[in-house]
Amino acid sequence: MNTYLHIVIASGLRQVFTYLPASDQSPLPAIGCRVLVSFGRSQRVGLVVAHSDVCDLPTDKLKAVLETLDSTPLLPDPLWQLGNWAANYYQHPTGDALLHLLPVRLRQGHNNQLISRYWQRVDTSPELGRAPKQAQIWQQLQTLPEIFGEHLLASINLAAKDLKPLLEKGLIGLTQPPQLTPAANLQTQPLQLNDEQQAVYNRISKQSHQFACHLLQGITGSGKTEVYLQLIEHCLKQGQRALILVPEIGLTHQLLARLQQRFNNPLLALHSGLTDQQRLHAWQQSRLGQGDIILGTRSAIFTPIPNLGLIIVDEEHDQAFKQQEGFRYHARDVAIKRAYDANIPILLGSATPSLESLDNSRRQRYQLHKLNHRAGGASQQSYEIIDLRQQPVTAGISERLSKIMHQQLQAGHQVLLMLNRRGFAPSLQCQACGQTVTCPACDTSMTLHKFPARLHCHHCDHRQAISYSCSYCQASQMRPLGSGTERIEEELQRQFPAYPVHRIDRDTTRNKGSLTGMLEQIHQGQPCILIGTQMLAKGHHFPHVTAAVIVDADSSLFCSDFRAPERLAQLIIQTSGRAGRASLPGTAYIQTYQAEHPVITSLTQQGYNAFAELELQHRQASLLPPFAYMALFLVQARQEQAAYSLLTWLQQQISQPELAASTQALQHFGPMPATMPKRANQFRVQLQLQHPSRTHLQHLCRHLCWLLEQHPDSKKLRWSLDIDPQELG
Ligand code: ADP
Ligand code: ZN
């Protein structure tokens, strides 16, 4: 007889806890059900992970479960397995990981009763002659299917309360939502695919009933999205559902609009812009098969979807797919595992695939498909490198750039400038002693902002008034150092007074609608200048832009992160993809003091794949991913010494003889300060491990985690492990 319940909770601990069933006679909660338990002095939501009839602890030491919250498991079995796999692969405490799979409301113990109700017509021709209002409602209901939910009710301008009299008379009854089989239901006809698109479509759709990882590399505007839409249509025609992941909520809206334009099928969007309640609702609907197409950001990969037939990951190279805090999973990689388990195809799309994915396609693990031409007849852009060593530069704008901009604007075109630094200047420096103003909590430069005027730490959000004298030497010679988008905007307004300048960054788009307003003006097509951060480079179409400018390529070239060149190359290609999207040819301009840098020359002369080839050679020579696997232990502490001593101890454990098999080819670096050595008063120290074998590295990390958990200091300090890190601390 099973009398013990093994339960995980979101406690940050790797432990499984044992409880007794509730004292009443109710059936044992099944594996995957939520239970409420008392834990320490609080009550927590836990998940049952196992039943057993043996327990090492004396029964009188065990507590009973307080309440069973679900009568059936919340996650379908494949997703439960996927969650367990991800917890294990990313070596994250199972309780935290599994609860992370659920919408926030359910993690908090909210009940899983459907928020949206469904009704069924019971009577066929009721006698309602004496109740004209009810008769009218009854008439209206005839236009709906026999089973209808609140959304359909709303579509005929009725609400649940209007149905009350009919419900009381038993003419209609509450019921479960209908399980429908998807079928393609087109609102508009698909475009005629060009030969390249057709070839890709044919190859992928031919293999629609088995796992394969397809990598679609298509230049911006080559019609990748059209291929997605037609593959989704194919999937729906097979009676299956499709899941599309995008990196950002901004891109969700654009794709959502295109999906809605094409399909009449029910579509569910899951992203961070939803309230917890809306998210729960969408999750529940998806779980019941009420959505045929599910579109979402990172965490949508864990959405339950019955009869899933296709996964698409758009902009697969984007860092946003990696969760950088807490449960540090990579949604693209989890998506591949999900597709593998379900034996269905997965399509990764990008103009600039990650080096990992390109390498996987070289090794034939992924099937590579290419779209090399712009669909719809737009012409492709060219490059020009602006060598900053040979000319005057004013607030980040070179003489050459200024001349080009004058020409383009006078010809009636638009110009776009990309600078990944908001604010006026990245630091405020004393001209007398050279010191910059630093954040008291992070030790890094405070960014100078003019609108509103203040110093702002972009790492911990600390704000302070602008200092007019130096706190070290008291001289009153403070000067902004370097340029952010505000400063460029100011300079552009000075140089081009006749043209509007639109600044698009997090500061100018904070208010709802302000981005939409600016985009509307830009789309009217009058000559103007756009200056913005990465936000600009992603997804937006600017058909009137003929010149796209990378204002400062060098900040990435000298970054310590080994992925910086890859990110720069992707940013250059994405930004230049904004130019010349309609019939106007576009040019991308790159301002740099490093005009001969191989990253820049290979990219501009031979294209992204040549750059990627070169960069992969570097990575291979230095045994960096994808030629080795990486893991990063990070300890954060108020005392730097405490963080160091814990990681030094950990590093010493690596030489334990029982780990010899796993540590032979190991490289380890540290303990050393993280890229961001201090943030919000916490010192950040890391230990970086690299190994050519994933299995050995996994084994080693598992053992080290186990050791760390035993160490008394690990309870006092914050520590984490990042498997396949995308950022080095
Ligand atoms: P991507 O996703 O690769 O950036 P899109 O699918 O957005 O490309 O296509 C770019 C533009 O080309 C869009 O305006 C789209 O409507 C158009 N387009 C795509 N495929 C075709 C096609 N086969 N025929 C005509 N126009 C197309
Ligand atoms: Zn700070």
Cβ 603 vs Cβ 672: under 8 Å: no
Ligand 1 site, residue 581, Cβ cutoff 6 A: no
The token duo for 106 is 């359910």
Q: What distance in Å separates the CA atoms of residue 425 and residue 151, rounded to the nearest whole number?
A: 49
Q: What distance in Å separates the CA atoms of residue 295 and residue 306, rounded to the nearest whole number?
A: 15
Q: Residue 390 corresponds to which amino acid?
A: Q
Cβ 256 vs Cβ 267: under 8 Å: yes
Ligand 1 site, residue 314, Cβ cutoff 6 A: no
Ligand 1 site, residue 226, Cβ cutoff 6 A: yes
Mean of per-residue pLDDT scores for the chain: 89
- Ligand positioned closest to the Cα atom of 188: 1
Closest by alpha carbon to 697, among 661, 673, 656?
Answer: 661
Ligand 1 site, residue 225, Cβ cutoff 6 A: yes
Listed ranges 21-30, 131-140, 363-372, 461-470; the one with the highest mean pLDDT:
363-372
Question: For residue 190, how far is its CA from the centre of ligand 1 (angstroms)?
Answer: 11
Residue 130 has pLDDT above 70, yes or no: yes
Residue-wise DSSP of 119-187 = EEE--SS---TT-HHHHHHHHHHTTS-SEEEHHHHHHTT--GGGGHHHHHTTSEEEEPPP-------BS
Across 340-354, 482-496, 501-515, 561-575, least confident range:
501-515
Report the pLDDT value the prediction gives residue 79, as an integer from 0 to 100.
Answer: 96
- Ligand positioned closest to the Cα atom of 190: 1
Report the pLDDT value the prediction gives residue 691, as an integer from 0 to 100.
Answer: 93
For 613, residues 6+ apart whose C-beta sits below 8 A from its C-beta are none
The residue with greater pLDDT, 537 or 9, is 9
Which atom of ligand 1 lies closest to the CA of 218? 3
Rounded (to 5) percent helix, strand, coil in the chain: 35, 25, 40
Ligand 1 site, residue 227, Cβ cutoff 6 A: no
Tell me how far the alpha carbon of residue 352 is from its chain's centroid: 17
Ligand 1 site, residue 415, Cβ cutoff 6 A: no
Provide the residue count of the chain. 729
Q: What distance in Å separates the CA atoms of residue 602 and residue 435, rounded to the nearest whole number?
A: 38
Report the pLDDT value the prediction gives residue 290, as an integer from 0 to 100.
Answer: 86
Report the pLDDT value the prediction gives residue 580, as an integer from 0 to 100.
Answer: 67
C-alpha to C-alpha distances, 533 to 39, 350, 501, 571, 718, nearest whole angstrom: 46, 20, 14, 10, 32
Question: For residue 452, how far is its CA from the centre of ligand 2 (angstroms)?
Answer: 18
Residue 462 has a CB neighbour count (10 Å cut-off) of 16
Burial (CB count within 10 angstroms: exposed 0-12, middle 13-18, buried 19+), residue 28:
middle
Report the pLDDT value the prediction gives residue 582, as an integer from 0 to 100.
Answer: 59
Ligand 1 site, residue 565, Cβ cutoff 6 A: no
Report the pLDDT value the prediction gives residue 489, as an integer from 0 to 100.
Answer: 94
Q: What distance in Å separates the CA atoms of residue 2 and residue 706, rounded to the nearest whole number?
A: 28
Closest by alpha carbon to 353, among 569, 553, 540, 579?
Answer: 569
Ligand 1 site, residue 577, Cβ cutoff 6 A: no
Q: Where does the pLDDT of residue 185 fall: very low under 50, low under 70, confident under 90, or very high at 90 and above? A: confident
Ligand 1 site, residue 543, Cβ cutoff 6 A: no
Average pLDDT over residues 52-81: 88
Ligand 1 site, residue 31, Cβ cutoff 6 A: no
Average pLDDT over residues 30-52: 92
The overall pTM is greater than 0.85: yes
Pocket test for ligand 1, best of 195, 196, 226 (most atoms within 8 A of CB): 226
Residue 521 has a CB neighbour count (10 Å cut-off) of 12
For 195, residues 6+ apart whose C-beta sits below 8 A from its C-beta are none
- Ligand positioned closest to the Cα atom of 447: 2
Question: For residue 199, how far is its CA from the centre of ligand 1 (angstroms)?
Answer: 15
The distance in angstroms from the start CA to the end CA of the chain is: 48
Ligand 1 site, residue 376, Cβ cutoff 6 A: yes
Average pLDDT over residues 373-390: 80
Rama region for 326: left / alpha / beta (φ>0; ψ in -120 to 50; rest): left
Computed on alpha carbons and rounded to an integer, the radius of gyration of the chain in Å comes to: 29
Q: Where does the pLDDT of residue 1 fall: very low under 50, low under 70, confident under 90, or very high at 90 and above? A: low
State the DSSP code for 322. Answer: B
Pocket test for ligand 1, best of 215, 224, 225, 350 (most atoms within 8 A of CB): 225
Report the pLDDT value the prediction gives residue 377, as an integer from 0 to 100.
Answer: 60
Q: Where does the pLDDT of residue 27 fall: very low under 50, low under 70, confident under 90, or very high at 90 and above? A: confident
- Ligand positioned closest to the Cα atom of 574: 1
**Which residue's alpha carbon is nearest to atom 4 within ligand 1?**
221
Residues 396-418: pLDDT tens digits? Answer: 899 999 999 999 999 999 999 99
What 3-state class would DSSP assign to 536? helix
The residue whose two tokens read 């600017």 is: 542
- The residues with which 129 forms a beta bridge, in sequence order, are none
Residue 715 has pLDDT above 80, yes or no: yes
Residue-wise DSSP of 358-416 = HHHHHTTSSEEEEE-S-GGGPPPPEEEEEEGGGS-EETTEEHHHHHHHHHHHHTT-EEE
